Amino acid sequence: DAGITQSPRYKITETGRQVTLMCHQTWSHSYMFWYRQDLGHGLRLIYYSAAADITDKGEVPDGYVVSRSKTENFPLTLESATRSQTSVYFCASRGGTSGYEQYFGPGTRLTVT
């Protein structure tokens, strides 16, 4: 399917475990982003990538790791999950007619127990 997909859609994990959230886009957009959404905070940027092998920190990067070996994939890893990382995670890519429009995936709801 064309577009941007995320997996899994729902995940429950225990404190201290490593978990990886996957993001895949089919448009070959250069820029990709990871956000977390929490009540009262809106969307906060975790990491972003301008191209394969180029990543940079966003507003709240602590406790997260990203990689981008291929243009279409941008996985987000929580190295040692904490309860404060319970959130909804959205992946996005940037493109469109202007080149500035962001397209979002459906989200992953992560619960850390």
69 near other proteins (CB under 8 A): no
Query: Is residue 27 close enough to count as binding other proteins by CB under 8 A?
Result: no
53 touches other proteins (CB under 8 A) = no
The answer to whether the CB of 4 falls within 8 A of the CB of 93 is yes
* 100 interacts with other proteins by CB under 8 A: yes
Minimum CB separation of residue 24 from other proteins in Å reads: 14
Length of the chain: 113
**Range in contact with other proteins (rule: CB under 8 A) among 12-20, 33-41, 62-70, 72-80:** 33-41
Q: Among candidates 23, 26, 22, which has minimal Cα distance to 1?
A: 26
With contacts defined by CB under 8 A, how many residues of the chain interact with other proteins? 25
Task: Give 17's DSSP letter.
Answer: -
Residue 40 makes contact with other proteins by CB under 8 A:
yes
Q: Of residues 16, 26, 51, 106, which one binds other proteins by CB under 8 A? A: 106
What is the helix (H) or strand (E) element at residue 46, kind and residue range?
Answer: strand 42-51
Q: What is the distance between the alpha carbons of residues 80 and 78, in angstroms, rounded to a whole number? A: 6
DSSP letter string over 75-95? Answer: -EEESS--GGG-EEEEEEEEE
Query: Which residues in this chain contact other proteins in the complex, by CB under 8 A?
Result: 31, 33, 35, 40-45, 48, 50, 56, 58, 90, 92, 96, 98, 100-107
